Every structure is written in structure tokens, then in C-alpha cells.
Amino acid sequence: MRKITIAIDGFSSCGKSTMAKDLAREIGYIYIDSGAMYRAVTLYCIENGLLHNGQIDVEKLRNEIDNLHITFRPNAETNRPDTYLNGMNVESKIRTMEVSSHVSPVAALDFVREAMVKQQQEMGRKKGIVMDGRDIGTTVFPDAELKIFVTASPEIRAQRRYDELKAKGQAVDFDEILENVKQRDYIDQHREVSPLRKADDALLLDNSHLTIEQQKEWLAEQFARVAGN
Ligand SMILES: Nc1ncnc2c1ncn2[C@@H]1O[C@H](COP(=O)(O)OP(=O)(O)O)[C@@H](O)[C@H]1O
Ligand SMILES: Nc1ccn([C@@H]2O[C@H](COP(=O)(O)OP(=O)(O)O)[C@@H](O)[C@H]2O)c(=O)n1
């Protein structure tokens, strides 16, 4: 079977990473969570004084962006890759509400996107990759053979994220998460550079009422159809 490129985009917290990583594991492809890269840049800003009262020190970040190297390494325990920022494991630090509440403005900066997209395209140079995010089918891999655009209602997505963070032991508030999900969707859809939108040739999947197992099966069918041709 020929190796292809699979782009999974869509709204926040709808299950993109879950289905992308499961498919990648089953078919032996590399899985890349592009959102983790924008989260890592945001964490860097928080930890290095580049964010003051929600304001990003844009010029400082511009000078430092080329020194931020984001990589992924497998974690046998969680069965998904951990995110590393300049060699440090930042996987749990990038999943907090603090990072979620600052990530979309950071990800809207043109030079941040340019640097991340360059790294992402390099990772997918040899195909055999499943990448999820917001602009994978439109900007990072416009020629991807299989493109999916996932959506679900904001309330359902917030509930999924709430359950996830609660299970990890984080103190979370449903309304705060719902507000964050809506706010990020708005910023992601309205930014100037590579806004979140469905690529014309992407398949739309509303998984509001699908189980993880059902969406996994659906995705495996789409893969078999496209890669088998
Ligand atoms: N179809 C589904 N039904 C219920 N929960 C789901 C479904 N798909 C994913 N989830 C859960 O929702 C949460 C968010 O999923 P995730 O894959 O991280 O979303 P995204 O990558 O789109 O932000 C996770 O806890 C995941 O286990
Ligand atoms: N390809 C991508 C992926 C994420 N992002 C940004 O990064 C944020 C976090 O992405 P994520 O995939 O971790 O978001 P969740 O939906 O998993 O919370 C998004 O809200 C976007 O602002 C982006 O701009 N482009």
C-alpha cells in the first residue's frame, strides 16, 4: 500500500488527536499533534516573561522563535508521543488551562506560524504521517491525500475536555472551559494567517453523537478507501 499524508483539522477539543493517534498506531504512521507545538511556544512565553497581563512581547518572541525546537518522543505508558521543548519534556505543562487561555493569540502571529509550519512540513516530507491541527489540510499539507474536518457542538466539546482534565486531577470549571473553547474557536477562525476553515476537499465529520470507537472505525474506512486506490 502506498504511503499517504493524512490531515485532520477542526474545532477545539472535538477528538482530533484521539482519532489521529489511534489511526497512526494502527497503520504504522507517524503522528504529530501540531497544537502541542503552539502550546509549547506559549509555555515558553509564560515561563520566560514574554507574556504580561495577556500581552505578548512580540519583538522578543520574534527574536527568539528560531531557538525554539519542538520534538516528539514516544511514551510507552500513555501510548502517545510526549512533547519536548529544547530537549525538556513539557507534555503535562502544555495541557493546563493557563496555556489554553493564551495559546490562540500566540498562534495567530505570522512569524510563529511560519516557524511551526516549516518544522511540520519537514516532519511530513516522507509522507506516512497523520497530523492534526487547524491548518494542516489548508496550509501545511494542501496536497494531503486524505483530509478530515471534525466538528461537534461547543457544549459537547467542553464536556469532553472537562472530563479529561478532571480525570487528570486538575481543578476545572465547566463554564471556564466552555468559554475558552468558544474564544479559541473565534480567534482561530478570524486570524489573518491560515485561519481555521475546512479545506474544500476535506471530508466533514460531526462526531457529536459518535463514540470514540465509532469515529475510529469511520476513519479507518476512509483511510482504506484512499490508500487502497
Ligand atoms: N467521540 C468521542 N466521544 C467522547 N469523548 C471523546 C470522543 N472523541 C474524543 N473524546 C475525548 O475528548 C477529549 C478531547 O479529545 P482530543 O482528541 O484531545 O481533542 P482535540 O485533539 O480535537 O482537541 C479527550 O479526553 C478524548 O478522550
Ligand atoms: N495547526 C494548528 C494547531 C493548533 N493551533 C493553535 O493552537 C491551539 C491549541 O491547539 P490544540 O490542538 O492543542 O487544541 P485543543 O483543541 O486540543 O485544546 C489552538 O486553539 C490554535 O490556536 C493552530 O493555530 N494551528
pLDDT per residue, tens digit, the chain (229 aa), is 789 999 999 999 999 999 999 999 999 999 999 999 999 999 999 999 999 988 999 999 999 999 999 999 999 998 889 999 999 999 999 999 999 999 999 999 999 999 999 999 999 999 999 999 999 999 999 999 999 999 999 999 999 999 999 998 988 899 999 999 999 999 999 999 999 999 999 999 999 999 999 999 999 999 999 998 6
DSSP-derived secondary structure letter, 138: I
For residue 67, report the distance from its CA to the centre of ligand 1, in Å: 32
Q: What values do phi and psi take at 55, rounded to 5?
A: -95, 130
CA 70, distance to chain mean position in Å, is 14
Cell numbers describing residue 62: 520574534
Q: Domains, the chain, ranges and CATH?
A: 5-227 (3.40.50.300)
Other beta carbons within 10 Å of 152: 21
The per-residue pLDDT for 54 is 87
If you take atom 16 of ligand 2, which residue's CA is the nearest one? Answer: 12
If you take atom 3 of ligand 1, which residue's CA is the nearest one? Answer: 211
Q: Write b or e for each residue in 163-190: b if 16 or more Cβ atoms lie within 10 A of its Cβ, otherwise e.
A: eebeeeeeeeeeeebbebbbebbebbee
- In this structure, the residues whose C-beta lies within 6 A of any atom of ligand 1 are 12-18, 132, 160-161, 164, 207, 210-212, 215
The per-residue pLDDT for 179 is 96
If you take atom 7 of ligand 2, which residue's CA is the nearest one? Answer: 35
| Strand bridging mode 70-75 / 55-56 | unpaired
The per-residue pLDDT for 170 is 86
Starting at the edge strand that comes first in sequence, how are the strands of the sheet with 88-89 ordered?
A: 70-75, 80-85, 88-89
pTM of the entire structure?
A: 0.96
For the chain, what's the residue count? Answer: 229
For residue 56, report the distance from its CA to the centre of ligand 2, in Å: 17
ipTM: 0.98
The C-alpha atoms of residue 116 and residue 75 are separated, in whole angstroms, by 22
The closest of 106, 99, 96 to 60, measured between CA atoms, is: 106
The C-alpha atoms of residue 72 and residue 115 are separated, in whole angstroms, by 16
If you take atom 12 of ligand 2, which residue's CA is the nearest one? Answer: 35
91, 83 contact by CB (below 8 A): yes
For residue 16, report the distance from its CA to the centre of ligand 1, in Å: 7
The per-residue pLDDT for 1 is 77
**Any binding-site annotation on 17?**
yes
